[in-house]
A and B are shown apart, each in its own frame.
Chain A
């Protein structure tokens, strides 16, 4: 689908891809189009990444464009900032979002601020890819959703796709964007959509319409949310894996929810949110990340500020608990369709 969409120009061949293949394709396209694009990180070179997202890229473009890096997150981000000062467009990988913390100083104090502090003398057109999210028995350090660490940093963009089509189009848009971007990839969605029903077999992306990905160049615009499911009774603000959880919860509860996949977390598409909440009068926010001071708190504030007179019920949020991500209690932690559905019902009852 979408192959004739004016966003990506002429009709082009479309292939069924997983999210992994779509992300790889985005990097392939941009490595081909722009000599200044370089890709590096732990295990991304010869081996092609622990999730296969960079498979074959080093062989195709050479070790000076795609290469392995030492296990040093601040080194990877710091070196990438320096490359930006030279004029390159690095696309770097942090193996798990859980391991980005050592790079915090380089991201917050440097990458996010350099354009501002130098009045545009130096800029950081960098993309930091990092697999995030739980639902995979990843335990404490392979499941976190640290988006709120980034959305509150002025100067950073934070983006998270939920399907192969968006993953490729958004990643290309991020690589071309001149601001530093945190590109969060829900690893639970790498091989197929997941609605939280861990008891059922997972279907591969090939059975899903949004796995139809153009082979060449196209972009999905930043700062633009997508309506994942149109509805009239309730607005759901979500992104990543919980987009599918919310869709299933809507089906299971029979509530006609309008599910908004934010895609760009910050800056975000406020107009689409406000328009929907003004229409439905009810709003539920769903994310995997822990609740307190999570990104959902900002979404609640924005909805409250902009839609107060249209609200017919308190804004609700369904999130991970305020605990580290456990291993054995995976499905008690992950906000699945039962918990999300219950919140939908409560929002409708008020």
Chain B
């Protein structure tokens, strides 16, 4: 006989599955305006409480409250709304285009628009972002041409990546948008290396690293935190916790009973946990972390709490693993609706203006799409010549690739 009951393997489960309702109490929300704002040179260990609470500015009535209110100008607020709306409309149009089989694949960022746009607005030109596949808002904020994005999605004759990459895996050095890789988490440590390089050269540019909740389980999440801490790299380590990694709830990534922000504190990195659907909180926290990095006080980690409102990708059907109406119950709401409510409360915006802006942006996206489609697509065979498939493997074409190109007859 033994005093011990048999051990049992614990496998976390989400509270909400198809046909029932998610209990979002696990999120541990803080009221708007109540979380303190430390100095940018705060000691990482002094941010432990922040890693377990939630920085929020906008309350449920659309009022901006507390020390994190970034005091943005009306112009900046309106720009933020415009960028988020543009990102959402772009996603919606591209989703439709994928359904029409004009492109092979697409991934929306529905519900996460505030994070990439407000964050990028708080950066400077020249700061380098190392995004995942769900930060298209960075390119849109930095005015990368929509037409070029769509040409990449169509893999057509004007695809900047010459048809070599799966749709959405954009790259633009000019816009500080590092080449997207299909391999998760790899860019997180690369961002730290970029920040180290900036410090080695005595530059004042900083790096912005991006990862999702699920991908924090990859080993490069940990290498990034270790290197960022060891070398005090000027980098912002962004963890977008949208609660889901395809079908896997964030608890399976290690989120049960803890936070992703807390990992930063454990590695000696100043960390924040922020309402990712609160445009003002995203801007303020990003500005704080950017200032901290640029002043040489070291890295920051920010967990953005949000919700992946759409399917993981056009190849995914979320109704098979989570409640269909989950987003409507998510307590942090919709980032666009919340900023709009704030602008209405300020008296600088109206439903009519919102409707007009929506139409204007839709027309802009449609025009870009038409312009891009003039250059063909994967479907109609108007793609880059096969001759280019051998280029850029190496800087110069080596002999074996010259022979293989000849063999293909191009």
Contacts and interface: CB of A to CB of B under 8 A. Distances in A.
Interface in B164-180: 164-165, 169, 171-173, 178-179
A260 interface: no
Interface string A62-80: 0011000010101100111
A119 B223 CA distance: 27
B194 A82 contact: yes
A62 B224 CA distance: 24
A267 B181 CA distance: 25
Contacts of B173: 118, 121-122
B171 A82 contact: no
Given A70-B230, A155-B394, A119 B189 contact: no
Interface in B225-245: 226-227, 230
A20 B218 CA distance: 36
A120 B193 CA distance: 19
A109 interface: yes
A123 interface: yes
Interface residues of B, number: 46
Given A72-B226, A74-B223, A118-B171, A154 B193 contact: no
Contacts of A102: 219
B399 interface: yes
Contact of B393 (A80, A85, A109, A155): A155
A119 B164 contact: yes
B165 A179 contact: no
Given A74-B220, A78-B220, A120 B392 contact: yes
Contacts, number: 139
B219 A81 contact: no
| Interface-central residue, A38, A105, A116, by most chain B CB under 10 Å | A116
Nearest to B207: A82
Contacts of B192: 78-79, 82
A85 B128 contact: yes
B51 interface: no
Interface stretch (B17-25, B196-204, B253-261, B271-279): B196-204
A86 B198 contact: yes
B400 interface: yes
14 contacts: A78-B192, A82-B195, A82-B207, A85-B194, A86-B193, A86-B194, A88-B200, A102-B219, A106-B189, A106-B220, A118-B173, A122-B179, A267-B399, A270-B400
Given A81-B193, A85-B193, A106-B186, 8 more contacts: A79-B196, A85-B197, A106-B189, A109-B182, A117-B164, A117-B169, A120-B392, A155-B394
